[in-house]
Amino acid sequence: EVQVVESGGNLVQPGRSLRLSCAASGFTFDDYAMHWVRQAPGKGLEWVSGISWIGDTIAYADSVKGRFTISRDNAKKSLSLQMNSLRVEDTAFYYCAKSPGLFAEPQFDDWGQGTLVTVSS
Amino acid sequence: DIQMTQSPSSLSASVGDRVTITCRASQSISTYLNWYQQKIGKAPRLLIFAASSLQSGVPSRFSGSGSGTDFTLTIRSLQPEDFATYYCQQSYSLPPTFGQGTKLEIK
């Protein structure tokens, strides 16, 4: 059974940092690109960042570029998102999702349950 | 970035009804269009990929169609478990972008 489990969400003050993790099981992790998608409470879905299966191609939404860093460890079947200089508008549920096929054509076929990041003073 | 616009934003229907949700892209995206279902408090679930291909495990009452800029998601014979919010998403180019969602409610 495919499982994707996020962790690391918390309440943090504006300007501070937080690191999210995603643990994968039940599929061949290094066959898939992995992505982070977020959803502010009561709002729609927003793609945040993605990384190719080998980690050589990375992309970010303009809203997080220069502040967030995505990485993966295929040996540990894990994905991470380092979030620096957090802003109130980064408050959201953050989902880890896997994507088959080409990195540049992402479709999200399995999602974690999400982890909540709240940025507030 | 490619803008995705769904209509309607909300929809009331009854069990057994047939419903259609539309999604329009701001430029042609061929058939690089995916549909998701999200229930309250849950993660999204992929229903349809490549505009019309049914994801494994998804009931056949769900279907998708369209190409270019205009797409539809049809649910034939609504079931109680289908009341949820539906999102379209383009996978034609980065960044992937989503529609604003269509909330399907029980009449």
* Closest to B85 in 3D by CA, of B32, B39, B21, B25: B39
What are B41's two structure tokens? 């408090």
How many other CB atoms sit within 10 Å of the CB of residue A106?
Answer: 27
Which tokens sit at A59?
A: 């992309």
What are the chain A neighbours of B98 within 8 Å (beta carbons)? 44-47
Supply the pLDDT for residue B44.
98
Mean of pLDDT values over A19-43: 97
Q: Given an 8 Å threshold on Cβ–Cβ distance, is B87 in contact with A44?
A: yes
Q: What is the phi/psi pair of residue A42, to 5°?
A: 75, 5
* A70 SS3 class: strand
- Candidate from B42, B49, B100 with C-beta closest to A44: B100
- Please state, as a whole number, how many other Cβ atoms lie within 10 Å of the Cβ of residue B53: 13
pLDDT band, very low/low/confident/very high, at B105 (cuts 50, 70, 90): very high
Task: Using the structure block, give the residue that is written with the tokens 């643990």.
Answer: A23
Question: Do A108 and B44 make contact, defined as CB atoms within 8 angstroms?
Answer: yes
Test A109 with B46 for CB contact under 8 angstroms: yes
Confidence of residue A57 (pLDDT cuts 50, 70, 90): very high
Half-sphere exposure of A120 (CA within 13 A, CB side): 7
Task: Please give the single-letter amino acid code of residue B97.
Answer: T
CA–CA min distance A108, chain B (Å)? 7
Whether B46 contacts chain A with CB within 8 A: yes
**Is residue A111 very low, low, confident or very high in pLDDT (cuts 50, 70, 90)?**
very high
The reply to whether residue A61 touches residue B45, judged by beta carbons under 8 angstroms, is no
Q: Can you tell me the distance from the alpha carbon of A96 to that of B93, in angstroms, rounded to the nearest whole number?
A: 20
Give B96's DSSP letter: P
Convert the pLDDT of each residue in A65-86 to its tens digit: 999 999 999 999 999 999 999 9
- Distance from the Cα of B46 to chain A's closest Cα (Å) equals 5
